Amino acid sequence: MITFKCLNPADFEPLYKCFLAAFSDYVVSMEVSREQFRQRLVRDGVDLEKSVAAFDGGEMVGFSLNALGKWQGQSTAYDSGTGVVPSHRGTGIGKSLLEYMFEVLLDQSISQCLLEVISTNSPAVGLYEKLGFKQTRKLAVLADIGTEGGHKRASFELRRLQTFDWQTLSSFWDGYPSWQNAIDAVTRAEKDCRALAAYKGDSCVGYGIVFAPAGNLMQLAVQREHRRQGVGSSILGALQAELNAPLKVINIDRRLDETLRFYEMQGFKLVLDQFEMVKTLKN
């Protein structure tokens, strides 16, 4: 018999095991250590007591992880990961799990649910649409296949970014980051981030932030009047050199043509697209 319940911190080990099993055949590798999984939950802001799981007897066979916060001014539950182990797929567990989750969130007066789903995962996209989710953005996921940064550095200096003046930094943006890369995510994961900024004198003209455990570039932005001067490529190259590993760029708004061209010029290639989707919850 399948049962559903909210999780608690004591469920971490079976959740980790279930996560690996559920994503063992995923289109991209989701293999992570226990510590990397824990760091992921912290970055996303997951609240296990507001997250739900499905059990077959005493074994966890599915889960939906929720992070609670504000998104576009609304109280929001962000889906940090939903999965069902291969042996229990096609049985309706995923749909029942999400419907159970919606009731939990309604009890918490949450206004909406937010998630990302790979655009080619037709069964998942179809399920979310049937459950009332609407597409809000198409997001690109990129992988580095040979970044060469460090151009034209004479006119600016790279320094460690010690504090985050978000009013200034966000003024460099052309769009807004996804949940995993947003200001709140950087704040939650700050101890696991590496951040560099380019300065002309005392003025910051660009910056970049990497979530080191996964090698994910969370944010990279350059003041508009200082673009095409090597600022972004130098920051990118320095961050990659510091991590000594290829970087990934997760969830760039597909409408940001200039940003996508920049990454292409730096040796990044498109790996996949995701749909960002939102469902309004009604009390």
Residues 6+ apart with CB under 8 A from 204: 161, 165, 168, 169, 197, 198, 223
Is 181 found in the same domain as 211? yes
Please report whether residue 271 resides in a domain: no
Q: What's residue 148's pLDDT?
A: 55
The rounded distance, in Å, linking the Cα atoms of 216 and 182 is 13
Is 172 found in the same domain as 54? no
Is 167 found in the same domain as 62? no
Is 91 found in the same domain as 7? yes
DSSP per-residue codes, 142-209: EEES------SGGG-EEEE--S--HHHHGGG-SS---GGGSHHHHHHTGGGEEEEEEEETTEEEEEEE
Q: What's residue 153's pLDDT?
A: 59
Mean pLDDT, the chain, rounded, equals 93
Please report whether residue 50 resides in a domain: yes
Q: What's residue 175's pLDDT?
A: 95
- Model confidence pLDDT, tens digit, residues 204-241: 999 999 999 999 999 999 999 999 999 999 999 999 99
Domain that holds residue 193: 146-266
Please report whether residue 97 resides in a domain: yes
Q: Is 41 in a helix, a strand, or coil? A: helix
212 exposed, middle or buried (CB, 10 Å; 0-12, 13-18, 19+)?
middle
Q: Based on the structure, what is the number of domains in the chain? A: 2
Side-chain half-sphere of 80: how many Cα atoms within 13 Å? 26
- Grade residue 29 by pLDDT with cuts at 50, 70 and 90: confident
Q: What is Dmax (Cα atoms) for the chain?
A: 67
Is 154 found in the same domain as 121? no
CB 136, CB 277: distance < 8 Å: yes
Tokens 């929001």 found at: 76
Please report whether residue 96 resides in a domain: yes
Q: What are phi and psi of 144, to 5 degrees?
A: -80, 125
Please report whether residue 95 resides in a domain: yes
Q: What's residue 283's pLDDT?
A: 59
Please report whether residue 202 resides in a domain: yes
Query: What pTM, to 2 d.p., does this model score?
Result: 0.91
Q: What's residue 145's pLDDT?
A: 75
Q: Is 104 in a helix, a strand, or coil? A: helix
Of 82, 76, 30, the C-alpha closest to 51 is 82
- Model confidence pLDDT, tens digit, residues 45-71: 999 999 999 999 999 999 999 999 999
Q: Is 94 in a helix, a strand, or coil? A: helix
CATH of the domain at 196: 3.40.630.30
268-280 and 248-253: which strand pairing? Answer: unpaired
Q: What angle do CA 196, 208, 34 make, to 5 degrees?
A: 95
* One-letter amino acid for residue 40 of the chain: R
Is 163 found in the same domain as 124? no
- Model confidence pLDDT, tens digit, residues 120-163: 999 999 999 999 999 999 999 999 876 554 455 558 999 999 89
Given a cut of 70, whether residue 268 has pLDDT beyond it is: yes
Q: What's residue 150's pLDDT?
A: 46
The rounded distance, in Å, linking the Cα atoms of 259 and 162 is 25
**End-to-end Cα separation, the chain, in angstroms:** 29
Is 196 found in the same domain as 79? no
- Model confidence pLDDT, tens digit, residues 106-118: 998 999 999 999 9
Q: What's residue 28's pLDDT?
A: 74
Is 214 found in the same domain as 124? no
Is 82 found in the same domain as 159? no
Is 125 found in the same domain as 156? no
Residue 4's alpha-carbon distances to 25, 53, 63, 81, 149, in angstroms, are 24, 6, 9, 16, 49
Please report whether residue 105 resides in a domain: yes
Of 175, 185, 160, 183, the C-alpha closest to 252 is 175
Is 112 found in the same domain as 155? no
Given a cut of 90, whether residue 244 has pLDDT beyond it is: no
Q: What's residue 246's pLDDT?
A: 87
Is 123 found in the same domain as 14? yes
The rounded distance, in Å, linking the Cα atoms of 150 and 196 is 13
Please report whether residue 194 resides in a domain: yes
